[in-house]
Structure 1
Amino acid sequence: MPAFDRRRLLLAIALGTLALGSALALAGVSAWLITRAWQMPLVLDLSIAVVAVRALGISRGVFGYCERLASHDTALRAADGERTEIYRRLAHGPADVTARLHSGDLLTRVGTDVDTVADVAVRAYVPIGVAAVLGVAATTVIAMISPAAAVVLAVCLLIAGVLAPGLAARAARAQEEVARRQQSDRDIAAVTALEHAAELRVAGRLPAVIAEAEERQRDWGSAIDRAAAPAAAAAAVPTLAVGAGVIGAVVAGIGIAAHTAPTTLAVLMLLPLSAFEATVALPGAAVALTRGRIAAARLRDLLPAPATQATVTLTAPAETPVLRADVRAGYPGGPVGEHVTLTLQPGARLAITGRSGAGKTALLMTLAGLIPPIDGTVTIDDTPTGELTESQLRSAISYFAEDAHLFSTTVRDNLLVARGDCTDSELTDALAAVGLDEWLSGLPDGLGTVLGGGAAAVSAGQRRRLLLARVLLSPAPIVLLDEPTEHLDAADGQRILTALLDGRLLGPRRTVVVASHQLGIDLACPRLSIGHDR
């Protein structure tokens, strides 16, 4: 669970207690006022009660609104802190944690699961705290009038506040895992359709993927309905408890009617109705608490241990190091690639070819130290990558993914991700080198133009060239590129690929490894074929 601000949470509970406490007091005062008015006393005898009814009616709404503000503020602050911590751990933690997850599953965990955990403050902690305080207060007041009625009320409150939520939590726990798995499958299918719509349309598979996403959505809805049915039955228990409590109060009232004032009897009859108002939300609170615990467990599985907060400082080495590998690469839990042995001296060029799914990306990420080898070692100047600090590793080698992110910020900031001390002149030169000089000159604010929506603000080809500009600005002497010319037309792609591998774009002293299935036959550089393309 996230670290809720205890003071803010207690403030929300106090305000919620005052809101429902006003309702409880309003019921008691109203019962007294109605009964006393029936006796036709002087109007002045009723004035205080009339003013109290108005004040309690207003205060209930005011305190309720303030409780909503306080509880939602607590939840939003907790969600913000939890996401910040998750992003920090993902940035500094082992890359294989996220490499084994589909982006749709990762989106579910970082998005929906964090919201579910944060909602515990609003949907569980506050209702439980308010119900506990008001249950004790109502039972105490009734005990002053009739101990027998107080015992009945206490038992009914326990049934409504403990038994019913327990049944709801048990039902939710039994179904939530199934529903959560269906939701993850739905998000994976939806994200696949969104991220690869163009390729899927060309391959004729987009309708099938969309249909699968819709089917997953229906499965998810069915799972949620199955989870809700037992919870709905549990929600009926408080209603039965209310009826039993009121009947108990009536029976007790009849027993003491001979020696008790009518106004007191009216309070005894109506007060239990308001006392149960706080327990109505408890089955839902138990469900929210159960789902929050499941979501928290999924987040702990995503980030099993706190990551170090060491600052990563990039300092390019004076000489390009030697990269050696004798490994089998693969994603954790996925298929294992074939055995690869290579030695790349300073300035070496290597093209990795193979069909889609052959393991090119996994091999590049293994060489970059982002995921551990399935078997064997990768060394930089004879030092295994696993023994290097994050700063040492990133200063020596950089991996540029095919689907690297473009941020919803300026063109300048999107390029400074590669190297933060670049001048505007260097940024402009890099964009010109990858063919974006005319595009840059057409932007309203040049480098300061905001790419609203990130990748959605540019075409696929422009996005690819922006990512290539990052490559040129990177200070790392060893550069690993995954499909650097994807989405470019054949002529431009071949020209840029040739420039990357012959030293014109990245310089003769930098080591360059390119994974692509678009290599032309005229590229004069060593090739490593993996998969079935040998």
Structure 2
Amino acid sequence: MPAFDKARLALAIALGSLALGSALALAGVSAWLITRAWEMPPVLDLSVAVVAVRALGISRGVLGYCERLVSHDTALRAAGDARNEIYRRLAHGPADVIARLHSGDLLARVGADVDTFADVLARALVPIGVATVLGGAATVVIALISPVAAAVLGLCLLIAGVFAPGLAARAVRAQEAVARQQQSGRDIAAVTALEHAAELRVAGRLPTLIAESEQRQRDWGAAIDRAAAPAAAAAAVPTLAIGASVIGAVVVGIGIAAHTAPTTLAVLMLLPLSAFEATVALPAAAVALTRGRIAAHRLTDLVPTKATGSPVVVTSPTSTPVLQANQLRAGYPGGPTGRPVTWTLQPGARLAITGRSGAGKTALLMTLAGLLPPTGGQVTIDGVATSALTESELRSAVCYFAEDAHLFSTTVRDNLLAARGDCTDDELKRALASVGLDDWLARLPDGLNTVLTAGATSVSAGQRRRLLLARVLLCSAPVVLLDEPTEHLDAADGHRMLRALLDERHGLLSGERTVVVATHQLGNDIACPRLSVGNGG
């Protein structure tokens, strides 16, 4: 998951240490200056200390700003690299990783979890590194004055820098895990409401889903509040440690006052106050580290293995392969599986997969496409199991078109080129005309260059469906698997489109290509083999 640049991390810690080191030195020099001025020496004796106070005051702010720039830049770079790596692994990794998660959960992981993990650098690693350096330096300086005072300071620093953060992390671990689960539930409900608002409104379920999302938000806030309470209690421990350290320094100072200069005693009294400035942030750093570990676990669970870096090269086969299912069972990971099916599709065959919604039609298509592993039996292409084919070989032979395929916020041309990148404009226009979008294209202000600024919401549901069908026509794969290709079309248009897809006499797709369509709108007058599916447990 996110990998931080070690050199930049070291630079951020160094700048943070110098910034708080300036504060530590400022406290020491100020203590010396105040005490020495009380003795009323010549003004020139104080000039160096006065200049040093000004320089240290300025350098603290400048170095602190530089540390923030470096740490946040490193964290943002790490987040960007992490998302690129996640997208690459999801694109080249097993499709069942995505299939088992809701899009809302994917959004939460790729969005919030990556940000949470990247925050670990600025909110945890840098404060911990700075506190370690500053605490060690302060203890060494105090040891030069009094080893006993240094021992007291060291013990208090350990309490503030180790015990308090550990207490905070242990207290919030369980609550943070619950909060993450509630956040995912909230995002799932919200994304479902956004993606399917029209259908849910017709079914009367939209208000219930919105209420569920709001309740999840309240539950998430409550979980965060419960996690913050013990962390707040742990945050009080460093304050107690500061008080104990100052009292210890006072006691030691009284003991050595007889043979120690007043200026040295002042440094001994005031230096511990600045030494604890770095440790005050450590309980919050422990909480950030705990959240980062939970986020890292969720991201690792999302993309558990490193995907191969070899690019996918899609070619046009010289012939249509034979697609065969042998005692094939299909289903999503952890869900029910369908009954076993066995059949052979010769080149140019047509097959309609029918069944009620939720019967397993989509899972079967994804298994045929090699996107889901079979739960039983196998799928072969020209006698070779799909699991034995490379991704390039598989994508060149079979292409799956999902019901909810994405329309991008770019031009009409680019949305069609997603199917095949070397299409000419004439090919794109012919494909649009074949699916009944020629008049729509003519009305667009910039034709194929018109930008669909809001993606799928820039067009009607029927236009979106036809655009996705145009991609099917442009795709070069000889075997195409279509999931509900006529959904959201009116009954008459949908029927005509299904006949054009499944009845080779109507020629929407070449008779040499194998076509498998999953639908629940198939009319009795469409002549093609049919396979009825249902969950067999």
Instruction: Give the TM-score category using the shorter length.
Output: over 0.9
What CA distance in whole angstroms lies between the structure 1 residues aligned with 2:137 and 2:207? 60
The CA deviation at 1:57 is 1.5
Q: Does the alignment pair 1:514 with 2:521?
A: no
1:527 and 2:530 aligned: yes
- C-alpha separation in 2, matches of 1:28 and 1:490: 84
Checking the alignment, whether the CA contact within 8 Å between 1:119 and 1:288 is kept in structure 2 is yes
Which residue in 2 is equivalent to 1:474? Answer: 475
Aligned-pair identity in percent equals 80
C-alpha deviations, 1:464-485, integer Å up to 9, x for none?
2221111111001111111112
Provide, for residues 410-444 of structure 1, a one-character-per-residue CA deviation record: whole Å limited to 9, x for no partner. Answer: 22222111111111111122122222223323333
What is aligned with 1:446? Answer: 447
Are 1:301 and 2:304 counterparts?
no
Gaps of 5+ in 2: none
Paired residue for 2:412?
411
Q: Deviations over 1:240-284 (max 9, x none)?
A: 101111111111111122222222222111111111000011111
**1:355–1:532 Cα contact (<8 Å) kept:** no
CA distance in 1, matches of 2:423, 2:465: 20
Partner of 1:525, secondary structure, is coil
1:6-52 CA-partner distances (Å, limit 9, x unpaired): 11111111111111111111111222222222233333332222222
**What's 1:336 paired with?**
337
Q: Quote how far apart the aligned CAs of 1:530 are.
A: 2.0
C-alpha distance 444-258 of structure 1, shift in aligned 2 (>3 A): farther
| CA-to-aligned-CA distance 1:476-495 (integer Å, 9 cap, x gap) | 11111111122222232222
Kindly provide the CA deviation profile for residues 143-184 of structure 1, in whole angstroms up to 9, marking residues without a partner as x: 122221111110000000000111111112232222222222
1:278 matched residue in structure 2: 278
Structure 2 distance, partners of 1:142, 1:458, is 72
Whole-angstrom CA distance in 2 between matches of 1:22 and 1:517:
73
SS at match of 1:334: coil
Cα distance in 2 for residues equivalent to 1:421 and 1:265: 80
The answer on whether the counterparts of 1:359 and 1:530 sit within 8 Å (CA) in structure 2 is yes
2:147 and 2:451 map into 1 onto residues whose CA distance is: 70
Equivalent residue runs for 1:359-374 within 5 Å: 359-374=360-375
Question: What do residues 210-253 of structure 1 show as CA deviations (whole Å, max 9, x unaligned)?
Answer: 11111111121222222222111111111110111111111111
1:370–1:141: structure 2 CA closer, same or farther, 3 Å change rule?
A: same
Q: What is the one-letter code of the residue matched to 2:340?
A: H
Counterpart of 1:248 in structure 2 is 248
SS in 2 for 1:481: strand
Give the TM-score normalised by the residue count of structure 2: 0.96
Q: Which residue of 2 aligns with 1:106?
A: 106
In structure 2, the CA distance between the partners of 1:530 and 1:174, relative to structure 1 (3 Å rule), is same
The Cα shift of 1:448 comes to: 2.4
Of residues 368-377 and 105-114 in structure 1, the stretch that sits farther from structure 2 once superposed is 105-114
Structure 1: how far apart are the matches of 2:231 and 2:301? Answer: 27
1-side partners of 2:521 and 2:256: how far apart? Answer: 93
Structure 1: give runs of 5+ residues left out of the alignment: none
Q: Distance in 1 between matches of 2:521 and 2:61?
A: 67
Distance 1:39 1:438, change over 3 A: farther
**Separation in 1, partners of 2:214, 2:49:** 59
- Code of the aligned partner of 1:187: D
Of residues 6-15 and 410-419 in structure 1, the stretch that sits farther from structure 2 once superposed is 410-419
Whether the 8 Å contact between 1:153 and 1:245 is mirrored in structure 2 is yes
Counterpart residue number, 1:230: 230
Aligned twin of 1:239: 239
Structure 1 counterpart of 2:309, which letter?
Q
Question: In 1, distance between residues paired with 2:493 and 2:55?
Answer: 76
TM-score of the superposed pair, with normalisation by structure 1: 0.96
In the TM superposition, 1:39-438 aligns within 5 A as: 39-326=39-326, 327-438=328-439
**Counterpart-to-counterpart distance in 1, 2:461 and 2:262:** 80
Structure 1 position 497, deviation (Å): 2.1
Contact map agreement 2:352 2:518 (CA 8 A) in 1: yes
- Say whether the 8 Å CA contact 1:354–1:532 is kept in structure 2: no
Tell me the equivalent position of 2:500.
Answer: 499
- Once the two structures are superposed, residues 69-109 of structure 1 have per-residue CA deviations (whole angstroms, 9 ceiling, x without a partner) of 10011111111111111111111111111111111122222
Amino acid at match of 2:79: A
1:426 maps to amino acid: E
Does the aligned pair in 1 maintain the 2:465–2:488 contact within 8 Å? yes
CA distance in 1, matches of 2:275, 2:135: 6
Contact 1:143 1:150 in 2 (8 A): yes
Question: What code does the residue aligned with 2:14 have?
Answer: A
Amino acid paired to 1:517: H
Whole-angstrom CA distance in 2 between matches of 1:215 and 1:299: 25
| Residue of structure 2 in register with 1:3 after alignment | 3
SS at match of 1:352: strand
- Quote the RMSD (CA, aligned, Å): 1.7
SS at match of 1:19: helix
Distance 1:234 1:19 in 2: 25
Q: Secondary structure at the match of 1:112?
A: helix
Letter of the 1:343 partner, please give it.
T
Worse-superposed segment, 396-405 or 406-415: 406-415
CA pair 402-265 structure 1, distance change in 2 beyond 3 A: same
**2:59 partner letter:** S
Supply the distance in 2 between the matched residues of 1:243 and 1:460 (Cα, whole angstroms).
67
Q: Within 2, Cα distance between the matches of 1:18 and 1:408?
A: 47
Structure 1 contact 120–292 (Cα < 8 Å) conserved: yes
Most deviating of 242-251 and 286-295: 286-295
Query: How many pairs align?
Result: 533
Q: Which residue of 1 aligns with 2:463?
A: 462
* TM superposition shift of 1:532: 8.8
Report how far residue 199 of structure 1 moved: 0.7
Contact 2:336 2:535 in 1 (8 A): no
Q: Give 1:196 shift.
A: 1.0
CA contact (8 A) 2:337 2:535 kept: no
Amino acid at match of 1:513: V
User: Secondary structure at 1:378's aligned position in 2?
Assistant: strand
